[in-house]
Chains A and B, each alone.
Chain A
């Protein structure tokens, strides 16, 4: 599961839909791996525009990374050298960092979802669906 995906998933339980605590999930006991992906600065710039940066910061913190800028980098230009360095870093973080194993905990209902072999599993036990 790529880091980027964490910005688009949350607890599927109906009662957690409107809770502000339910997003992002809290990532615990995670094993990470770096897997090379094609570098596409245009794609990154556009994705960046729509990312919830606070959620990115929270998940990065869960995964032991507190080095991100507190505000979202904006108006990055893939041609500018300084911006290129930022984009490369974001590429490494968002697209090449895989959560291979770990837990995702809903901060609203405390339900735990597991990631195994890089695949997150959001199935609910019968009494919750």
Chain B
């Protein structure tokens, strides 16, 4: 077993919830998180490679910018709420990516001006359904009529994955990210190592290439969570796990798009919508 996920208290102020359980956490884990995020997901790659040559688009919540260099015939601007992750994007690309720090609900682009957008594993971090719909609507407002927008959100239905969430489970949860504290590592003490089991830190398939030191963190008993959290620096990120049909429903509630294509890939629901 791994560090368990937790349910989140209901009724927190949405903005402070996002600050505490999304913005601050990503800044704290940014360099480590960035190391585990370099493999493009196939559907996203396909979407970007099928854009018309020389189109202009945005990646909302671009993280370390792993999708900004997929197709060099596009002009893409990536923004993220986390300045830590944007610094990673800048360093990784040697300052060749076009990136900026911005909030997904207050994007710095003229309305009706862009050809396409992507937002990969981002919208599920907004604290309420109203804000998730608003986030989709806001990105659409930046697109030209007919512009396409690819959205990925983490799925509730992932019984085949290590975490095993399934239909009927709690959808609003806190997912642990364990930062290994390098200075406290005791290499001579043969503790239970969990290399290869990919214990604790994250959900994505890329984990297989994650750094070995992460896998050496001790397993945490639930009752000791708080104490252990201090020692091993467990950070919790808030996610809304999308159930089947919910992402499409959210998109349609904006009243500004039609569905082009949708599907399920690697524990995520995805949809391509077209602005109307």
Contact = CB atoms under 8 A, between A and B. Distances in A.
Contact of B103 (A10, A42, A50, A124): A124
A50 B113 CA distance: 10
Nearest to A104: B108
B79 A122 contact: yes
Interface residues of B, number: 31
B109 A123 contact: no
Interface residues of A, number: 33
Given A8-B56, A10-B109, A121 B90 contact: no
Interface string A1-34: 1101100111111100100000100000000000
A14 to B, nearest CB: 8
A1 B72 CA distance: 18
B83 A121 contact: yes
A41 interface: no
Interface in B61-119: 72-73, 75, 77, 79, 81, 83, 86-87, 90, 95-96, 98-103, 105-111, 113-114
A100 B65 CA distance: 19
Nearest to B15: A126
B53 interface: yes
B54 interface: yes
A117 interface: yes
A55 to B, nearest CB: 10
A10 B110 contact: yes
A12 B54 contact: no
Contact of A119 (B72, B100, B111): B100
27 contacts: A1-B98, A2-B98, A5-B98, A8-B75, A8-B110, A8-B113, A10-B108, A12-B102, A12-B103, A12-B106, A13-B106, A23-B110, A43-B73, A117-B87, A117-B90, A119-B83, A119-B87, A119-B90, A119-B99, A120-B101, A121-B83, A121-B100, A122-B103, A122-B108, A123-B101, A124-B103, A124-B106
